[in-house]
A and B are shown apart, each in its own frame.
Chain A
């Protein structure tokens, strides 16, 4: 059955069940994934997937249901489950099916050229990446992960209030993880590239970054426990910002789960910090013209020169706060209810290079990797304590590699203790909270635990 016919049938059956405001959200994707190991294709995966999410207002409450079996046999389940789910909602927050924004800015995040890249070329690219990494240095003993992935995605949002939106996008990524060994010392490093322009996939550059960094970590040792000035390299700063991004969600603020409650228009960071959420950013993985509720997205500064200027809102939290939705009402998948998430969110870059930041430190640590972001930090308290590695800085120069340490502090303190912002903005691999970027950040000090 055609998608449109199915949607009409669902609405028709919903009306018979007494429903008025209903919405169908369909998300489909074509995925391709390749892994190579020792020159052979270790995994080759292709898939087409599609999911349909239904929601409706029943006695003023929003009920949700979804299915991956997209045919008529699912209609009864969708309607019955959504009604049953709406019945149990006892939150007083008002939710609605949205009739649409006045205008939508066009966002082009689908690159036709990417679809035309052949599997043969992609296989060749990923094999060359592994080969290059293995030949760059005799100490490279293995490439445990060497992956290429490509996805094209389409979404369709149709509701009974007349909203009818469609969007499509595509993206590709390559990820390499190398293992180097000298005597009994084993080190690894991972690098990635993510873009919908295949010409940006340079296997030589990617292999070199990963191998150079892994080799540079050989012989790493711990360091004396103390408080040290710290540089969080751009990718590390972006990972930490991503992990703490839920604190900007108005939903968490309203539910007493974010310490940003009551901080609107107040200074919460050093004035050199400006955080932007830009859904129109060129090349942004999260670029889009509308959110999962159909609200037009917009550019905004979340922190402007240290001052918190807005929370991220969907229509429900906006109504509660008496403001307009910021167009951040996203579902993490078609299976999920509408929640809140940033689009392309980043700390605006400053003017110092990473080298200049390093030069400005007499004794400190450059952090180039953190682990345990899903467990070693708490978005409610802002506390973090993360297994880390990087390099000791002595008299403005990299002195030696450091590992088996932790860095610990509080994210709210950290925002105030950023002394300088680098000019090297970089985006983290998306982990489900939008596409988040940061330049390298020089921090006054953090607690370091070692020996």
Chain B
């Protein structure tokens, strides 16, 4: 992607004003996206993202610059401009780049670029018809297909010199149900760090029907009552509760600056003792996995909370310097346009002992959130919110009726302590996570859990 001698010259130039660390990130990525509305392909775009990011540290000061122009002359100019932001003198630099081969644990069989578009469209049509024919209340189905092949080269003045290839594919199905002048929607979007063989491993029709079922259920649903109540959150994408309520607060990005509610709490009990939470970037072919992070550090399995005790944070290089700890392989970025920072990969609550049936049967009154939408958090206060896409009222240990329009709000530290039942049916859901280093693919996961009491934002009193 770039010759070793150019990389060396650029890194040396970057340290010309006293920086103590420099890094170069080269990205060459091919994207392909198709949009189908009403069974017809409306939009098709493909293209190539290409650029180079140069980062320099001087202790905990950091400078970042990027460019699309990879000529030696331009890169040296960009490195020099970036270096000028630090006004020190050049030290002694000996650079010894050693190309290291990384262990590939995410086997890719069918590169998306080798698959004809017609095959991808065939897949989309299968999804479209499965959803559209599900029920006559389904009035519109939108299917988005995406794939990407991202090639990266990362080198730094510590001698690191690695390349990695990340291949991801995803299909998002949105359904609309209409009735009496109202509309409700359903959504399902399976994805993986995998090639086109992903679609041999899953049946896209099942996901499409599920998206249609959600919209149909919600169009017949009543508005959700509001107030505090016990909430059961189902597995898979339900894990977004941990992602928002706690995950972001465990990223070194806010911990290192002391602006997270979890800062300084290692070894303390922060959650109910039945809660163990993990961020694991090594799960083979999972949506949020990578062999190495975007700073070239191998990803790893990080235990965040073990039996309720805070064990660790997710750390990148720069915040690791601030905190005096090593990177946990958590440095991620959307593209060369962003300086990396600590981010989640595949984050989940580990299996507990209860069955989903037991959890529901043990709940006298409350909300059962079967599918969650997205959410967000204020890491300084821990206040979070997320949307319930499909919910039900529970009465006397039984699912009573579907309810629509619910949002769950709470505080991360409080909600973790109020988890009083954890199921044994761990599953994962795929999402895009937005933060200071852009939007990145992240898996969320959990078994079915119950939170003793949460504020449910609905539209009706009871």
Contacts and interface: CB of A to CB of B under 8 A. Distances in A.
A50 B458 CA distance: 45
B68 A69 contact: yes
A103 interface: no
B50 interface: yes
B179 to A, nearest CB: 11
B226 A408 contact: yes
A86 B34 CA distance: 11
A450 interface: yes
A385 B459 contact: yes
16 contacts: A44-B63, A65-B45, A68-B49, A68-B51, A69-B68, A90-B41, A91-B37, A259-B181, A371-B383, A375-B374, A375-B385, A385-B459, A405-B409, A447-B460, A449-B226, A450-B455
Interface string B375-411: 1101111011111000000000000000011110111
A142 B257 contact: yes
Contact of A46 (B61, B82, B257): B82
A88 B375 contact: no
A49 B458 contact: no
A51 B63 CA distance: 23
Contacts of B60: 40, 42
A385 B65 contact: no
A45 B340 CA distance: 12
Contacts, number: 239
A259 B380 contact: no
B47 interface: yes
B272 interface: no
B354 interface: no
A406 B226 contact: yes
Contacts of A66: 45, 47-48
A341 B71 CA distance: 36
A136 interface: no
Contacts of A225: 226-227, 461
A186 interface: yes
Interface in A253-275: 255-257, 259
Interface size class of B (residues with CB under 8 A): 35 or more
B151 interface: no
A230 B139 CA distance: 34
Contact of A42 (B62, B78, B142, B457): B62
B42 interface: yes
A376 interface: yes
A187 B383 CA distance: 10
Contact of A259 (B183, B228, B375, B379): B183
Interface in A411-451: 447-451
B50 A69 contact: yes
Nearest to A258: B183
A217 to B, nearest CB: 10
Nearest to B253: A144
Interface string A80-112: 010011111111110000000000000000000
Contact of A256 (B85, B176, B261, B373): B176
B175 to A, nearest CB: 10
A88 B455 contact: no
A70 B51 CA distance: 11
B376 A186 contact: no
Nearest to A316: B42
B459 to A, nearest CB: 4
B183 A381 contact: yes
A256 B41 CA distance: 16
B254 A144 contact: yes
A371 B376 CA distance: 7
Interface string B359-371: 0000000000000
A227 to B, nearest CB: 8
B277 to A, nearest CB: 21
A404 B178 CA distance: 33
A142 B258 CA distance: 8
A179 B387 CA distance: 26
B353 to A, nearest CB: 31
A16 interface: no
Interface in B298-312: none
Closest 5 CB pairs of A and B: A406-B457, A449-B226, A387-B385, A375-B374, A66-B47
Contact of A81 (B47, B65, B67): B47
A85 B32 CA distance: 10
A409 interface: yes
A49 B374 CA distance: 31
A86 B45 CA distance: 9
A387 B376 CA distance: 10
A405 B82 CA distance: 45
B40 interface: yes
A259 B70 CA distance: 48
Interface string B204-228: 0000000000000000000000111
Contacts of B339: 43, 45
Interface string A48-86: 111101000000000111111110001001000100111
Nearest to A370: B385
Contacts of B44: 63-64, 85-86, 88-89
Nearest to B45: A64
Nearest to A177: B380
A167 interface: no
B393 to A, nearest CB: 15
Contacts of B121: 88
